[in-house]
């Protein structure tokens, strides 16, 4: 299918993009990598009258350390996150999530900012970024603001982005020594999208006890969810296989998955405990 007719503007700066968004209002959409928007337009699920392309805006891609934070430009493609030495060594769970998105073509064209702003509940980045306590820098006509992951992902395909704002940067706190991160998912065999996924950040003391843990679950509702009962069960405990298994068994508590043609809600609840355990065990084994 072909999309409806639309106008096209290549923005030369973030400021220009925000002015265009304000000018065209609900009739405009931002274009980053296009791997979510263009298929939706072809299916007539989205029919913006104006596309504002961010691809030529300088300074929106790249990965760097900024103090105690890993800064990722919103136009950084998935493949660059997956292959980044900074990500692989300091936040391996983030690199893992990037490496299992879609296929080679998607990973070399799709952007982390586009994925985050689209907020697909079956996407990978929102889950790992929720576990890593990431925050998102949003720029509008009247300045910038930073929104933490729990306040950014609101519902199905819904974020805290205002209509005239552009997501410019993702900021991820660098874990302290004794920390490990990991990501694991059950992909749909046809699409590669998440059926259920889990991300973990585990901090250990020198004796091997869990100082703190953050565990996020994907595919179990309208947005990524923190597995609070699992996190509480790990706190202060030795990270033995038995402790991890008992904590992971609580990963689906408070979730509300929907049954579909591939997996029932009960199956998803069970799989959430399996992948939570895998992510926690891997994170706990990393230094």
User: Average of pLDDT values for 233-245?
Assistant: 97
d(CA 254, CA 132): 20
> What is the pLDDT at residue 35?
81
- Rounded Cα–Cα distance for residues 198 and 218 (Å): 6
- Model pLDDT for residues 198-222, shown as the tens digit of each residue: 999 999 999 999 999 999 999 999 9
25-56 per-position pLDDT tens digit = 999 999 999 888 888 889 898 999 999 999 99
51-78 pLDDT, tens digit each = 999 999 999 999 999 999 999 999 999 9
The string of pLDDT tens digits covering residues 174-197 is 999 899 999 999 999 998 999 999
Is there a contact between 8 and 49 (Cβ–Cβ < 8 Å)? Answer: no
pTM attached to this predicted model: 0.95
Contact residues for 65 (Cβ-Cβ < 8 A; gap 6+)? 71, 86, 90, 174
d(CA 202, CA 209): 10
Domains and CATH numbers, the chain: 7-53 (3.30.43.10), 63-173 (3.30.465.10), 179-285 (3.30.390.50)
- The pLDDT confidence band at residue 2, using thresholds 50, 70 and 90, is confident
pLDDT at 71: 98
Q: Assess whether pLDDT exceeds 90 at residue 1.
A: no
CA torsion angle 19 24 29 30 (round to 10): -10
Are the beta carbons of 275 and 245 closer than 8 angstroms?
Answer: no
pLDDT higher at 253 or 2:
253
Strands 135-140 vs 7-10: parallel, antiparallel or unpaired: unpaired
| Cα distance between residue 14 and residue 21, in whole Å | 10
CB 153 within 8 A of CB 224: yes
The mean pLDDT of 103-124, rounded to a whole number, is 95
Structure-token match 């009962």, residue found: 229
Question: Contact, 80 vs 96, CB < 8 A?
Answer: no
- The pLDDT of residue 126 is 98
Mean pLDDT of the chain: 96
- Whether the CB-CB separation of 217 and 254 falls below 8 Å is answered with no
């Amino acid at each position: 299918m072909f999309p409806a007719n639309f106008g096209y503007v290549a923005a030369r700066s973030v400021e220009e993009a925000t002015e265009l968004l304000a000018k065209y209002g609900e009739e405009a959409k931002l274009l980053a990598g296009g791997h979510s928007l263009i298929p939706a337009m072809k299916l007539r699920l989205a029919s913006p009258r104006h596309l504002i392309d961010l691809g030529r805006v300088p300074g929106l891609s790249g990965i760097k350390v900024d103090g105690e934070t890993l800064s990722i430009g919103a136009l950084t493609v998935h493949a660059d996150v997956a292959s980044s030495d900074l990500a692989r060594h300091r936040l391996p769970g983030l690199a893992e999530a990037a490496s299992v998105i879609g296929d080679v073509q998607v990973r070399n064209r799709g952007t982390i900012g586009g994925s985050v702003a689209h907020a697909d509940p079956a996407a990978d980045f929102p889950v790992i970024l929720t576990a890593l306590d990431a925050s998102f820098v949003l720029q509008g006509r009247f300045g910038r603001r930073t929104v933490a992951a729990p306040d950014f992902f609101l519902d199905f395909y819904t974020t805290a982005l205002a209509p005239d704002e552009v997501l410019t940067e993702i900021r991820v706190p660098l874990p302290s020594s004794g920390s490990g991160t990991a990501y694991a998912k059950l992909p749909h065999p046809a699409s590669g999208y998440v059926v259920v996924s889990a991300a973990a950040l585990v901090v250990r003391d020198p004796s091997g006890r869990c100082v703190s843990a953050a565990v996020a679950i994907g595919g179990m509702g309208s947005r990524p969810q923190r597995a609070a009962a699992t996190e509480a069960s790990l706190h202060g405990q030795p990270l033995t296989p038995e402790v991890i298994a008992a904590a992971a068994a609580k990963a689906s508590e408070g979730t509300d998955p929907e049954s579909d043609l591939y997996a029932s809600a009960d199956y998803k609840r069970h799989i959430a405990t399996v992948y939570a355990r895998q992510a926690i065990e891997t994170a706990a084994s990393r230094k």
